[in-house]
């Protein structure tokens, strides 16, 4: 399917160019062919101009200059159909005249003019990019016209080839990039599935174990033990359900289905409520969670549920990765049409080399040791921040702590 499409694109571009070539020939027949003659020998120049005047098949207009610099000047000001270039000029000798001309007008054909016995030089010029060469004393009307026409046609054919080549190269690059991306997505998918099965297997094992104990040792178990086994089963199921919710959240975001439903929110009241819930969770660790808002924040437009995901996850992390009795600060302010949320802790920190991977689902840094977690929190936070067209920055040092800053654009009411 793709192959056919590529062939169709190439054929189309060839056709367009063939048509363009045909148009050029028609144009040549109907309009005078503009020649730039760069020749310092006035007698030779006059002779060539005379030959061109005698041509019956085409009408030529010739602009004559005696130096390369003057030729380049003319080419800057006007378009020419072909250049006749003498290789022995006062300001440029031999093949060095070619590159500046070809750089300035890469699609204008060049015919070099050489002296008798300069065949080697002439051939070298053609190898370097000239379309043809003429030996001065051997030129006549027919040879001159044939050479100019041939040079124009040959250059056109070369241009067509070059363009087709470029189109092809471009398509190949595009397809290669698509392939690389597809391979990365596949790799990511398999990693995702294996992490998910790994994280589901843990609570499943707990359920199997506790259910087995309840079934086989029912009579030997005290009422208290039974209750604790049931509690284990309940929390394992709760963990699985939570994990599946997070995975489906990421799936929804990846499918572009995460919508931002804006409502008017009293920001300070909303954040205070989230802070109160976080303090309650952290009550056993005697952590000091300090919340402060700066300036008049009032009501803002945002998606309540997405903002809750962001703040709850970041506060949970700051608390979870802090030592018992530690401190966490949570600041909010408005600055430059942005809402800025900053959460800082003085906990375990994140190794620098791993910080760029934090937003990948299931990624956990190497220093978490036995602190539990699935590695989904920050992936979700990132999706929510993206849905708000915001940005998230992590600044962290192992052993010193972490500062996470979220910037959301303020939306006009």
Ligand X SMILES: Nc1ncnc2c1ncn2[C@@H]1O[C@H](COP(=O)(O)OP(=O)(O)OP(=O)(O)O)[C@@H](O)[C@H]1O
Q: Which residues bind ligand X (CB under 6 A)?
A: 313, 317-318, 321, 345, 347-350, 358, 363-365, 368, 373-379, 402
Residue with tokens 């000091």: 288
Query: Whole-number minimum distance, CB 240 to ligand X, in Å?
Result: 13
State which residue, 200 or 213, has the beta carbon closest to ligand X: 200
In the list ligand X, Mg ion, none, the entry touching 37 (Cβ below 5 to 8 angstroms by class) is none
Helix (H, G, I), strand (E, B) or coil at 316: helix
Q: What number of chain residues touch Mg ion (CB under 5 A)?
A: 2
Q: Tell me which of 317, 322, 342, 396 binds Mg ion, using CB under 5 A.
A: 317
State which residue, 92 or 396, has the beta carbon closest to Mg ion: 396
Contact 65, 37 (CB under 8 A): yes
Contact 404, 347 (CB under 8 A): no
State which residue, 139 or 403, has the beta carbon closest to ligand X: 403
Query: Whole-number minimum distance, CB 401 to ligand X, in Å?
Result: 7
What is the number of other CB atoms lying within 10 angstroms of the CB of residue 107? Answer: 11
State which residue, 132 or 246, has the beta carbon closest to Mg ion: 246
Torsion of CA 151, 156, 161, 166, to 10 degrees: 120
The whole-angstrom separation of Cα 331 and Cα 341 is: 6
Q: Tell me which of 71, 326, 347, 377 binds Mg ion, using CB under 5 A.
A: 377
In the list ligand X, Mg ion, none, the entry touching 109 (Cβ below 5 to 8 angstroms by class) is none
Among the residue ranges 14-22, 46-54, 362-370, 373-381, the one whose residues contact Mg ion (CB under 5 A): 373-381
Query: Whole-number minimum distance, CB 379 to ligand X, in Å?
Result: 6
In the list Mg ion, ligand X, none, the entry touching 125 (Cβ below 5 to 8 angstroms by class) is none
Query: Whole-number minimum distance, CB 313 to Mg ion, in Å?
Result: 6
User: How does strand 110-114 pair with strand 82-86?
Assistant: parallel
Q: Which of 332, 329, 336, 260 is nearest to 297 (CA)?
A: 332
The whole-angstrom separation of Cα 237 and Cα 233 is: 6
The whole-angstrom separation of Cα 51 and Cα 222 is: 118
State which residue, 249 or 363, has the beta carbon closest to ligand X: 363
The whole-angstrom separation of Cα 119 and Cα 380 is: 73
State which residue, 347 or 390, has the beta carbon closest to ligand X: 347
Helix (H, G, I), strand (E, B) or coil at 45: helix
User: How does strand 327-335 pair with strand 288-293?
Assistant: parallel
State which residue, 130 or 328, has the beta carbon closest to ligand X: 328
* 374 belongs to the binding site for Mg ion (CB under 5 A): no
State which residue, 71 or 377, has the beta carbon closest to Mg ion: 377
Query: Whole-number minimum distance, CB 313 to ligand X, in Å?
Result: 6
Among the residue ranges 46-54, 223-231, 244-252, 314-322, the one whose residues contact Mg ion (CB under 5 A): 314-322
Order of strands, sheet of 401-409, starting from the edge strand that comes earlier in the sequence: 288-293, 327-335, 338-345, 401-409, 391-397
CA distances 187 to 181, 299, 348, Å, are 10, 44, 30
Query: Whole-number minimum distance, CB 167 to Mg ion, in Å?
Result: 49
Residue with tokens 């001065």: 136
In the list Mg ion, ligand X, none, the entry touching 402 (Cβ below 5 to 8 angstroms by class) is ligand X
In the list ligand X, Mg ion, none, the entry touching 365 (Cβ below 5 to 8 angstroms by class) is ligand X
Residues 6 or more apart from 152 whose CB is under 8 A from it?
24, 28, 33, 81, 82, 109, 131
In the list Mg ion, ligand X, none, the entry touching 345 (Cβ below 5 to 8 angstroms by class) is ligand X
Query: Whole-number minimum distance, CB 367 to ligand X, in Å?
Result: 7
Residues 6 or more apart from 45 whose CB is under 8 A from it?
37, 39, 64, 66
In the list ligand X, Mg ion, none, the entry touching 344 (Cβ below 5 to 8 angstroms by class) is none
Where b means 16+ CB within 10 Å and e means fewer, 343-376 reads bbbbbbbbeeeeeeebbbbbbbbeeeeeeeebbb
Query: Whole-number minimum distance, CB 364 to Mg ion, in Å?
Result: 9
What is the number of other CB atoms lying within 10 angstroms of the CB of residue 237? Answer: 14
In the list ligand X, Mg ion, none, the entry touching 318 (Cβ below 5 to 8 angstroms by class) is ligand X
State which residue, 295 or 399, has the beta carbon closest to ligand X: 399
In the list ligand X, Mg ion, none, the entry touching 210 (Cβ below 5 to 8 angstroms by class) is none
- The residues binding Mg ion (CB under 5 A) are 317, 377
């Amino acid at each position: 399917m793709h192959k056919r499409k590529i062939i169709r694109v190439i054929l189309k571009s060839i056709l367009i160019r063939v048509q363009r070539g045909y148009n050029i020939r028609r144009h040549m027949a109907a309009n005078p062919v503009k020649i730039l003659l760069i020749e310092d020998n006035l007698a030779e120049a006059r002779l060539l101009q005379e030959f061109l005047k005698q041509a019956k098949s085409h009408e030529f207009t010739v602009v004559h200059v005696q130096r390369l610099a003057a030729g380049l000047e003319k080419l800057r000001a006007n378009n020419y159909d072909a250049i006749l270039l003498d290789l022995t000029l006062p300001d440029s000798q031999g093949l060095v005249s070619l590159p500046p001309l070809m750089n300035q007008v890469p699609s204008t054909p060049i015919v070099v003019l050489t002296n008798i016995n300069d065949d080697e030089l002439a051939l070298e010029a053609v190898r370097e990019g000239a379309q043809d060469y003429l030996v001065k004393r051997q030129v006549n009307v027919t040879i001159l016209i044939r050479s100019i026409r041939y040079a124009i046609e040959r250059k056109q054919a070369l241009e067509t080839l070059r363009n087709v080549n470029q189109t092809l190269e471009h398509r190949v690059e595009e397809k290669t990039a698509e392939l690389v991306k597809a391979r990365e997505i596949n790799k990511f998918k398999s990693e995702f599935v294996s992490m998910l099965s790994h994280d589901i297997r843990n609570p499943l094992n707990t359920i199997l174990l506790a259910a087995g104990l309840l079934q086989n040792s029912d009579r030997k178990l005290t009422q208290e033990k039974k209750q604790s086994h049931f509690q284990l089963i309940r929390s394992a199921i709760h963990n699985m359900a939570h994990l599946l919710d997070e995975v489906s959240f990421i799936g929804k975001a990846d499918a572009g289905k995460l919508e931002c439903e804006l409502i008017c929110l009293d920001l300070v009241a909303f954040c205070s409520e989230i802070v109160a819930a976080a303090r309650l969770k952290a009550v056993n660790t005697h952590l000091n969670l300090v919340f402060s808002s700066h300036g008049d924040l009032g009501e803002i437009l945002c998606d309540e549920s997405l903002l809750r995901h962001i703040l709850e996850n970041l506060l949970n992390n700051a608390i979870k990765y802090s030592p018992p009795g530690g401190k966490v600060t949570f600041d909010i302010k408005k600055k430059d049409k942005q809402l800025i949320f900053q959460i800082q802790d003085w906990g375990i920190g994140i190794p620098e080399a791993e910080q760029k991977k934090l937003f990948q689902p299931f990624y956990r840094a190497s220093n978490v040791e036995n602190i539990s977690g699935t590695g989904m929190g920050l992936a979700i936070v990132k999706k929510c921040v993206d849905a708000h067209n915001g940005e998230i920055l992590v600044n962290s040092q192992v052993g010193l702590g972490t500062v996470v800053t979220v910037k959301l654009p303020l939306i006009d009411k």
